[in-house]
Amino acid sequence: MPAPQDTPFSSRHLRLAGTVNFRDVGGYVGVDDRAVKWETLFRADGLSHLTEPDRAAIRHLGVATVIDLRSSAEIETGSFPVDEVPVTLHHLPLIDEVADPSTFQSIPGFLANSYVEMLETAGPQILRAIEVLADPASQPAIVHCTAGKDRTGVLIALTLGLLGVNDEEIIDDYALSALGMHRLRERLIERYPDAAEAISEADLMFSAAPENMENLLEVIEDRWGSVEGYATHIGISPETIDQLRGSLLEPPPS
Delineate the domains of the chain, giving CATH numbers in brackets. 23-246 (3.90.190.10)
pLDDT over 80 (residue 1) = no
Separation CA 53–CA 145 (nearest Å):
21
Cα 37 from Cα 61, distance rounded (Å): 13
The full DSSP string for 20-54 is S--EE-TT-B-GGGPBBPTTTEEEES--TT--HHH
Tell me the mean pLDDT in the region 151-157. Answer: 98
**Closest of 173, 177, 145 to residue 159, by C-alpha:** 173
Is a pLDDT exceeding 60 seen at residue 3?
A: no
Q: What are phi and psi of 151, to 5 degrees?
A: -60, -45
The answer to whether the CB of 177 falls within 8 A of the CB of 148 is yes
At 153, the amino acid letter reads: G
Q: What is the mean pLDDT of residues 178-187?
A: 86
Q: Are 45 and 69 in contact (CB under 8 A)?
A: no
Angle at 174 between CA 122 and CA 14, to 5 degrees: 110
Give the model's pLDDT for residue 2. 44
Q: What percent of the chain has pLDDT over 90?
A: 75
Residue range 59-68: average pLDDT?
97
- pLDDT computed for residue 7 by the predictor: 40
Q: Comparing C-alpha atoms, which of 216, 145, 213 is closest to residue 174?
A: 213
Q: How confident is the model at residue 103 (pLDDT cuts 50, 70, 90)?
A: low
143: closest CA among 158, 156, 125?
156
Cβ pair 101, 207 in contact under 8 A: no
Instruction: Tell me the three state secondary structure of residue 139.
Output: coil
Distance CA 115, CA 197 (A): 25
User: What would you report as the CA-atom Rg of the chain, rounded to the nearest whole angstrom?
Assistant: 17
Dihedrals phi, psi of 44, to nearest 5 degrees = -155, 165
pTM over 0.85? The answer is yes
